[in-house]
Amino acid sequence: MSWELDWLEHRARLSSKKEAIIDESTNKAWTFGELNDRAASAASWLQTQGVRKGDRIALLSPNHISYFDLLFACGKIGAIFVPLNWRLSIQEIKEIIADCTPVILGVHLQFEELFEELKAAGITYFNVGDIKYEKEVISLNHHGFSAEINETDPLLMIYTGGTTGKPKGVVLSHQSVFWNALNTITSWSLSKDDVTVNYMPMFHTGGLNALSIPILMMGGTVVIGESFTGKKAVDSLNRYHCTIILLVPTMYHLLIQTKEFQKSSFPSMKIFLSGAAPCPLPIYEAFQKKGLAFKEGYGLTEAGPNNFYISPKEAAEKRGSVGKPMLFNSIKLLKEDGSETGPNEVGELLIKGKHGFSFYWNREQETRKTVKNGWIHTGDLAKKDEEGFYYIVGRKKDMIITGGENVYPLEIEHWISSHPYVDSAAVIGLPDEKWGEMVTAFIVLKHTSSVSEEELKEYCSRKLGRYKVPKRFFFVKELPKTHVGKIDKKKLKELSDQIK
């Protein structure tokens, strides 16, 4: 392969004895030298199974070192690594497998109940997470690899959440993964001293590309976390002297409610990052009260996922802003007529850079709709203030048009969530004969709290224009979420039909 693409081998040369990976559940650690040896052994083993350049290698596993084994192994031989969302149903997993047609599938022992179904479907699989995997796959003698690999060749395929249709396979090249890491390292000032614990699912771009790969490329350490609890997260952040962490808002919501969070000063932590969904302002306040640096970012599987930078000081002053474009990517906002927005005008967010995806697997038409003249049309709405700081307003498809007025749910959600009795809130538009769409809120109240619909309407009217005040409130025990912690608004619409 092209020598500069196998950066793990070079990092192993420079930092052979430095700890690269630690497993939170066992405390087992691997150095960069050991990590590279594991990947080379896995690559050799895959070749003995007939894997060649361009073949897909799938993995169904909870967070585990096998993600790094197989990702870096694929990089060495030109195969394409496809991590699968284990939270899907077996039928949904089979549909994805039928789409990407892997030549072989790694299945963690945790999912051994699926073995027979996968075997019956004619899928060739091997076990990961056991002694046999360590002996047969990871301890093979390995030599150089001869496949000619270019930076534009596919390395990784991550399937989208599929909340608005069937999941799409997002193909990321060596170039896109490399430039996302480099852009993150330089823009966020990552160093070899950085340590993170990763609770994000590693079948998702947030688990692999957001922090894990950039920190490893720089020579830092990644602690693999499996199941998240607020208490365990606080313990690991302190035990491993972590400096940075990325969590989704639902995780932060649980974290800040623990007594461990209240007691800890987090002496080694430089920054807490929030991603995957807009962050409610009460979470900002919880960190500000403790004097801890907190900020949120914006990304998507098709681009990075890292695209913006904001300093902790700026994040405190401009709550809700994701900052400015990073060093090696460009951003613009387009109005419906195709012209660029002015200050504080809302438009669709477009992204351009070498970290962008190559194409959607088997979806040429979808690719053409999303990428135009090198710009990725995200479908997200954003605005930019006079100083050039960007704010994500919401999904284009989530915008509500009521009585001819555009309503952005995030603004309403932020305000309702600030009510002292409200635990969380989500806002959608439901069909309405009079208004076209009716602004509708789903509310989860704090334990033992009680508040009426009329009281919430009055509260909303203090801050929001009349057309933005929800006309209906549904009180629910919890909000449905996707596998990465985003509010599932498709399911909210289904839920409203059931409540009616």
Q: What digits encode the pLDDT tens for the residues 71-99?
A: 999 999 999 999 999 988 888 888 999 99
What are the tens digits of pLDDT across the range 242-298?
999 999 888 898 899 999 999 999 999 999 999 877 787 788 889 999 999 999 999
Tokens of 143: 């030599």
Per-residue pLDDT reduced to its tens digit, 46-77: 999 999 999 999 999 999 999 999 999 999 99
| pLDDT at site 280 | 78
Q: Are 73 and 140 in contact (CB under 8 A)?
A: no
Burial of 343 (0-12, 13-18, 19+ CB in 10 A): exposed
| pLDDT score at 347 | 94
Between vectors from CA 298 to CA 162 and to CA 257, what angle results, nearest 5°?
Answer: 90
Q: How far apart are CA 206 and CA 335, in angstroms?
A: 29
Tokens 């307003």: give the residue. 393
* 409-417 vs 453-461: helix crossing angle, rounded to 10: 110
Q: How far is residue 10's CA from residue 31's CA, in Å, rounded to a whole number?
A: 13
CA distance 384 to 246: 24
pLDDT lower than 70: segments of the chain? 1-4, 162-165, 484-485, 500
Torsion of CA 181, 182, 186, 192, to 10 degrees: 70
Ordered structural domains, the chain, with CATH = 3-384 (3.40.50.12780), 399-499 (3.30.300.30)
State residue 349's pLDDT score: 96
Handedness of CA 215, 220, 226, 230 (dihedral sign): negative
Amino acid at 345: E
Q: Are 488 and 496 in contact (CB under 8 A)?
A: no
Q: Say which residues have a Cβ less than 8 Å from residue 116's Cβ, sequence separation at least 6.
A: none
Distance CA 83, CA 211 (A): 17
What is the CB-side half-sphere exposure of residue 123 using CA atoms within 13 A? 29
Phi, psi angles (nearest 5°) of residue 322: -95, -5
Contacts of 143 (CB under 8 A, 6+ apart): 44
Q: Contact, 439 vs 415, CB < 8 A? A: no
Number of C-beta neighbours around residue 89 at 10 A: 8
pLDDT at 350: 97
Residues 107 and 87: their CA atoms lie apart, in Å, by: 14
Nearest-angstrom CA–CA distance, 103 and 114: 18
Q: Residue 128: phi, psi to the nearest 5?
A: -125, 160
CA separation, residue 209 to residues 38, 201, 470 (Å):
20, 11, 38
Q: Which tokens go with 76?
A: 């060495």
Q: Taken in order 245, 250, 253, 259, is the CA torsion positive or negative? A: negative
What radius of gyration, in Å, describes the C-alpha atoms of the chain?
Answer: 23
| CA–CA distance, 201 with 276 (Å, rounded to integer) | 12
Would you call 443 exposed, middle or buried from its count of C-beta atoms within 10 A (0-12, 13-18, 19+)?
buried
